[in-house]
Structure 1
Amino acid sequence: MKKSQPLITVFAVTALGFAACDQATEEEPSRAPPEGTYIVGPRVESVVRGFDGRYFVSIQETNVASAEDGTIKLINENGEVSVFASGMKEPRGLDFTGTELVVTDLDRIWAVDKDGNKRVVADSTRFPVTVSNLNDLSVEPGGKTLLVTEMGPSSQMRPAGSTNTLLPVNSAEAQALPRTARVFRVNVADGTVTTVLDASTDNRIFNGVFASKSGKILIADYFGGDLTEIANNRQRTIAVPRGVDGIGEDASGNLYLGVFEEGRVYRIDANGGDPTVIVDGLGFRGVADIFVDADNGLLLTPNLGAGTLIVRKLP
């Protein structure tokens, strides 16, 4: 699954705005529910281990942004589910800084404290360009900055009348897609926003983004089927299935890719090789933003279409 192209030197560290990596907050032991499938709520998107080692999921609820009925829910170690925070439009990407949960919400980013109180980290006015489709986010080492994807024109990425088929990559319609997908870095404390990857002809629709503990950045081009890796001031592209939503990494450096279009989770090695399907059969909309709990050997898969969370051991 690796593209045969040379590494591309990134212009400079300052051009990408790499943040200094402080010592990350020590994580709490896992309080995951037993392996199984749990009903958590309509259009579940992301999952993360947060306060006290417990697990939280973002629930988009209805597909009506003006309703602001989206929630973050807590799933206890016994499998019980409860609302932890509410009043969001379409909460999607979810991560934990060590002191707060952070979540995207179309044109805002929220932070939520241990008592479920939320604050706006950055709204649309803080971004250097217009944003309306913020999707995934990932906390960088140290917990002070976030990587956030603006998905771009996802409503235009399918043929007219289709709900589950992507346009051909090289079609005229694909070439005409607006270039609005970007990746931003957001300071959690003051809401300052800078651009990491600008809009280009190479990236049509961004979705998953992942910042590893080692400082490596991975960004999924949902439409084109590319995974961009930025590490040690260099950039390379790995060919992956179209429709990558979630990205994770285990303790051995293997990558896990949740593919929304296929209902599968793949494991590949750090170089993009040896692809193995480890979750299959969930169908379109069956795999959203996966979470690899490397410390505890767990894979958590939100099934958006079914409104469930699947907990299983890593293979």
Structure 2
Amino acid sequence: MVTMTADGSVKSKYNAARKKSQWKTIWLRFKKNKLALAGLIVFALMAITVLSADLWLDYESGVLTMDIANAYQGPSAAHFFGTDQYGRDYFTRVIYGGRISMFVGIATVAVSLTFGGLIGATAAYYGGRVDNVLMRLMDVLMAIPSTLLAITIISALGSSMFNMIVAMGVSQIARMARIVRSAVMSVKGQEYIEACRACGTSDARIIMRHILPNAMGPVLVQVTQTVARSVITVASLSFVGLGVSEPTPEWGSMLSFAKTQMRYYPYLSLFPGFAVVMSVMSLTLAGDGLRDAMDPRLRN
């Protein structure tokens, strides 16, 4: 028994060192992709900017306080992005609008990863009838376009940030479940999983402690893509009036109003539109770079 414990300890340390080496190799390969690295840096800077907004911007005066006398002022030293129809500082509203989009995107990932990951891991681990039933249910869910499903759920529950997170999370569960299932299927047949079963380790512990951590590679790629899709979906829902309502700023709702003023005040659509494009593009580039870095066919 002592020998088995010692061997297990040595093997555990070896696996940990090997895993650390693999992630180091992935990071080194990722850094060689200049577009992916640029995407990661841009998104990190955007995230830091919107998350630290309270430290250097005044939400009350920039977002809520109206100054009709200064409405539709173009970009200037006093107002970097100009002012909107109520004289509110457009720069402040764009920054705080990004906070809403990123928060909803990350919350959507949390919902879809929690439930989709559980469904996918359960289906892959048990296989057979359990796998067949769960995946057929996911097929039904995937048959409905994600944006249409989100619109349907929000229309039924009402327009609010919480309902938007629920709707978008549900719409991404099936896709996340399939990614997790595929990743778990590639791991569950490994020798150390069989050893855990032989030692009487519970199924829940095997899945949570040994399988999922070693199947996170493809899932991380899917996470970046899900956040990017969520930013677009949030903007789309707000654009059609199903997202957050005034006076809370959000890129989609800002674009919705700006579309009627593009001829006279093009800056109203330029800045929030550019923010959407940059956030989605940076996440997409980072996700593509991560996928390439983790591709086994590229490993030496």
- TM-score of the aligned structures, taking structure 2 as reference length: 0.24
Bigger helix fraction = 2
Task: Flag the structure with more relative contact order, 1 or 2, with Cα contacts below 8 A and sequence separation at least 6.
Answer: 2
Bigger strand fraction = 1
